[in-house]
Amino acid sequence: MKTITTWALCCALTLPTYASHLLGGQIQARNTTGNTYEITVVLLLDRTNAQGTAETSTIPLCLGDGSTITLARATQRLIDPAVSENVYRASYTYAGPGVYRLTTQLLNRTTTVNANPPAEAPFVLSTTIQATGNFRNASPAFEPTADFWQVSTNQRASLRFRFVDADNDSLSYAIVRPLSAATGNGCSAPTGLNAYQFPNDVARAGTYKLDSRTGGLIWDAPTRAGQYSVAVVIREWRNGIQIGETYAETVIRVQDKGGASTTLPPYEPATENSLVTGTSPESEVVFWASPNPMQHRLTVQLRLNAARTASVHLYSLAGHPVASAELTTPQRDHTHTFEVGNLPAGLYILKANVDGRVISRTVLKQ
């Protein structure tokens, strides 16, 4: 509970009083025994909208196996006159092993400087778990510092998304668009929010980057005061295999705190959903795979520090080859699209080979 409370304190902001009231949140899942998971949904709500808070006394949760349950609010804490922390919890047993994507879709997303979606665009949280053999796990929990979201205009902001994994699995981080979904179907596949700009894209100034290994966020530098939506995906790795994925969202508050201004670097668009591996700039490889979960096509992109050949391979979870591509023209940027519409639903392992070095990740077929 300490983690949740700290998060809410960071987000104790005064927000508009209209219907929007959802500030952020996360879905946490913890394997208790066999295929049984304790599932916790944390929501941060704008308390100035009493009606909105009342409407979230229960929330729907899609369990990824075709089932939907309703979670009643277990606890509610008034963190600030304007912000409440709402915790929803339930236990659920899956019928068998598999990979399951848990989602909740709610209306009334908060409008921010960089996110101004239509009123009907839902606020979506998502966590993917693997109830398979030794890959059963607990999703990571966010433990920020108390001043995480308080940054100043015209000064380089250095923050850290610190997620702690109870199983000591390795974590990687990437910036993403907040999730939304098609309206009218509470369990439709989440998609990136269209009416969204990364914070530095609003003014087309400076840089906005996240270190994939540490979760360190550098925004160099905010130029406009206000509240900004921020989303991150955290991937869990065990023995080189991705076993989980959590999308979390919150807000950053930018204020003019005075002090000396930093020199603003040239504008550089933010890079979404990248995975950076390697221990030095010379060994850096940027590896994209989208969409994930995939349905009909999977596009793989590699960005290298020098022109090289590469190959990409898709395997079933049992290790059987499904598809492969040899990228034989030496170049720094490679792109290949796999047709995956005929593949059975489930988890697949994607591997890229660059000069004998193999980078692996998992992708989910819906």
Is the pLDDT reported for residue 34 higher than 80?
yes
Residue found by looking up tokens 């030794």 in the block:
134
Average of per-residue pLDDT across 123-141: 87
Question: pTM to 2 decimals?
Answer: 0.74
Model confidence over 159-170: pLDDT tens digits?
A: 888 888 888 888
Could you tell me the end-to-end alpha-carbon distance of the chain, in angstroms, rounded to an integer? 33
Task: Identify whether 270 is part of a domain.
Answer: no
Give the CATH number, domain containing residue 306: 2.60.40.1930
Q: What residues form DSSP beta bridges with 98? A: 131
CA–CA gap between residue 9 and residue 31 (Å, rounded): 28
Is the pLDDT reported for residue 361 higher than 50?
yes
pLDDT of residue 8: 47
Count how many Cα atoms sit within 13 Å of the Cα of residue 215 in the half-sphere of its side chain: 20
Q: Are residues 97 and 168 in the same domain?
A: yes
Q: What percent of the chain has pLDDT over 70?
A: 85
Handedness of CA 341, 344, 345, 346 (dihedral sign): negative
Handedness of CA 162, 163, 167, 173 (dihedral sign): negative
Model confidence over 226-267: pLDDT tens digits?
A: 989 999 999 888 877 778 889 999 888 899 988 888 899 999
Task: Identify whether 61 is part of a domain.
Answer: yes
Q: Are residues 42 and 126 in the same domain?
A: yes
Q: Are residues 67 and 185 in the same domain?
A: yes
Element (H, E) at 10: helix 2-10
Q: Are residues 240 and 304 in the same domain?
A: no
Q: Which domain holds residue 93?
A: 22-142+161-193+229-247
Q: Are residues 290 and 242 in the same domain?
A: no
Q: Are residues 38 and 104 in the same domain?
A: yes
Task: Identify whether 315 is part of a domain.
Answer: yes
Q: Are residues 124 and 242 in the same domain?
A: yes
Q: Are residues 238 and 295 in the same domain?
A: no
Q: Are residues 292 and 241 in the same domain?
A: no
> How many Cβ atoms are within 10 Å of 316's Cβ, its own excluded?
14
Model confidence over 270-328: pLDDT tens digits?
A: 887 644 333 333 345 777 787 777 889 998 888 787 889 999 999 987 788 999 999 99
Q: Are residues 60 and 110 in the same domain?
A: yes
Which tokens is 266 given? 């040239």
Model confidence over 87-131: pLDDT tens digits?
A: 999 999 999 888 888 999 998 888 889 998 887 889 999 998 888
Task: Identify whether 7 is part of a domain.
Answer: no
Element (H, E) at 362: strand 357-365
pLDDT of residue 24: 87
pLDDT of residue 82: 66
pLDDT of residue 182: 78
Q: Are residues 69 and 131 in the same domain?
A: yes
Q: Which of 134, 144, 145 is nearest to 167 (CA)?
A: 134
Handedness of CA 212, 218, 224, 225 (dihedral sign): positive
Count how many Cα atoms sit within 13 Å of the Cα of residue 87 in the half-sphere of its side chain: 18
Paired sense of beta strands 36-46 and 22-33, if any: antiparallel
Question: At 143, which amino acid appears?
Answer: E
pLDDT of residue 311: 94
